[in-house]
Structure 1
Amino acid sequence: MLFDMDGTLVDSEKVWDVALHELAAHAGGTLSEPARLAMVGGSMAVSMRILRDDLGQPHRDEAADVRWLERRVAELFAGGLVWRPGAMELLRAVRAAGLPTALVTSTGRRLVEVALDTLGRENFDAVVCGDEVTAPKPDPAPYLTAAELLGVPIAACVAIEDSPTGMASAVAAGAAVLAVPAELELPPTDGVHLRDTLVGVDPEYLATLFGRVAT
């Protein structure tokens, strides 16, 4: 089992929303809604490029902005994260079934360590962070890395995602993909099974995704 984090397991995209708007204000500007939505599911580097372009400040110090943003998000994460509907129950069921499980996120290690206080380190056999892979989502590298760490063929894995960027990464890697929208509407996509919520999803349901026509 391969779980995305932000927007999939926890409702942390709203935390990022607060911090990114605060960063834009710190820079003397305002983050537009289209720019914010374009960041969902993307890497830090991509998000910072979108921010600079949106603010019309192409020469901003990216490293300084990343440090500012990570400090603020860490503060917000430390206050506790809200689980997405059905996510905690599914994760517990997957672990109870003894399925190898990885967290596969575009978020960097520093912030993931804070989030794991909510998610539970014991719930994951491997954790793949956005700053620890050769290429971020939508490249397949994060999911391929996770499958390798678990010692499970990627074709035998189910990836659970909430964004087009994450979906693209998991599909390209060769996993079965279940997607539940959070911040963005998800259009029907070849190779992706769409649901409105994770409520009611269990290991038995996940097993049926292999070989099914995407819906």
Structure 2
Amino acid sequence: MLFDMDGTLVDSEKLWGIALEDLAVRAGGKLSESARLAMVGTSMPVSMALFREDLGQPDRPAGPDVAWLTDRVAELFADGLVWRPGARELLHAVRAAGIPVALVTSTERRLADIALKTLGAENFDVVVCGDEVRAQKPDPEPYRTAAGLLGVPIERCVVIEDSPSGVASAVAAGAVVLAVPSDVALPSHDGIHVRESLTGVDLGFLAALR
């Protein structure tokens, strides 16, 4: 079982939005809603490229912005994270059943470790972070890496995701995908099952996904 983090298990995309808006003000601009939505689920380099383009500052150095944004998100994460509907119950049920579980996130390890204080590090056999893989979502590497570390064929894994880039990564990896959109709508098509929330999703539901 492979879980995304931001927007899937915890309602942290809103906190990323707050931090990005604060960064835009600091840069003397205002982040558009379309740019923010385009960033959902993407890697830090992609998000920062979208940020600079949206603000009309293509030559703005990325390093200081990344450092400031990471510190700001760390502050927001430390104040506490809210579970997405049904996520905690499903995670605990999967864990209690003895099913191997991985957390697969584009977020860097420093921030993921803060989030794990809410999620419970004991609930995951493996954690794969964005700064621990060569290619981030939508590349399949993060999910293939997690399945390999669990010792489970990716074709037997169910991935739960909320973003277009995450879904694309999971599909390309060869997993069964359950998409639960948070901020960005996701269309249902072959290999992707879409639900409004994880409320009511149980082990029987997951076992029936193909």
With normalisation by structure 1, the TM-score equals 0.97
Shift of 1:189: 2.6
Matched residue type, 2:74: A
Task: Map 1:85-164 onto structure 2 (within 5 A).
Answer: 85-164=85-164
Alignment-derived partner of residue 4 in structure 1: 4
1:72 and 2:72 matched: yes
Amino acid aligned to 1:25: V
- Matched AA of 1:70: T
Amino acid at match of 2:61: D
Distance 1:5 1:204 in 2: 22
Cα distance between partner residues in 1 of 2:38 and 2:197: 22
The answer for the alignment partner of 1:21 in structure 2 is 21
What RMSD in Å do the two structures reach over aligned CA positions?
Answer: 0.6
Give the gaps of 5 or more residues in structure 1: 211-215
Aligned residue number for residue 55 of structure 1: 55
Q: State the shift of 1:134 in Å.
A: 1.4
Secondary structure at the aligned position of 2:83 is classed as coil
Q: What residue identity is the alignment partner of 2:54? A: D
% identity of equivalent residues: 70
In structure 2, C-alpha distance between the alignment counterparts of 1:56 and 1:205, rounded to whole Å = 46
1:22 positional shift: 0.2
Structure 2's unaligned 5+ residue stretches are none
Please identify runs of 4+ aligned residues in structure 1 that moved more than 2 A.
none
1:54 alignment partner AA: D
Q: TM-score, normalising length from structure 2?
A: 0.99
- The aligned length equals 210
Partner Cα separation in structure 1 for residue 161 and residue 125 of structure 2:
18
Q: CA deviation at 1:163?
A: 0.8
- One-letter code aligned to 2:103: L
